[in-house]
Amino acid sequence: MNKKGFTLIELLIVIAIISIIAGAVFVALDPLSRFQDTRDARRYSDASEIVNAIKISQVDNKGKYIDEIKNATNDEIYLVGTCATGATAAGVTDYCDTDPTQTACLDLTQLVTDGYLGVIPVSPDGDGTWTASLSGYTLSKNNKGIITVRACESENTDEIMIVR
């Protein structure tokens, strides 16, 4: 009698080969690195969104920044957030690539109420735990009015920074 089919040994060999190939593909794709790249892309996009909202607001208001930015000390780095007066942003120094130089937060909610931002972006968590009160983004302006927004964290790049 002539039976056709696979032997148990042949099936085990095929399963082993498929497992080896799947393992190699999984390692080659490096999912942890892809997740880190995704969070970095989100941080870059959020920082760009904040700068764009500030600049559009400035154009609409004949060159003037909102009061929070106008009153901020030049060349000082503020954490963007709604932390209450007297609250400190100093606890984020373990997480930021470029640490805030001011302990007070810079509240940009006027950009939301004026319609330039839907919400203040909150950085995706890497090492830090970010909330609306401590967003994970910093802002500074120089004496020429140039705005720099940085993401506190970056995972697969040295620093995420938008300057305009």
Beta bridge partners of 161: 150
Q: Give the tens place of pLDDT for each residue, 30-40.
A: 888 889 999 99
The percent helix, strand, coil of the chain (3-state, each to 5) is 40, 10, 50
Q: Which of 86, 55, 27 is nearest to 163 (CA)?
A: 55
pLDDT in tens, 87-139: 556 566 667 888 888 888 899 999 999 999 999 999 997 666 788 888 999 99
Residue-wise pLDDT for 66-93, tens only, equals 999 999 999 999 999 988 654 556 566 6
- Name which residue leads in pLDDT, 153 or 27: 153
Do 134 and 89 form a contact (C-beta atoms < 8 A)? yes
- The better pLDDT of the pair 133, 59 is held by 59
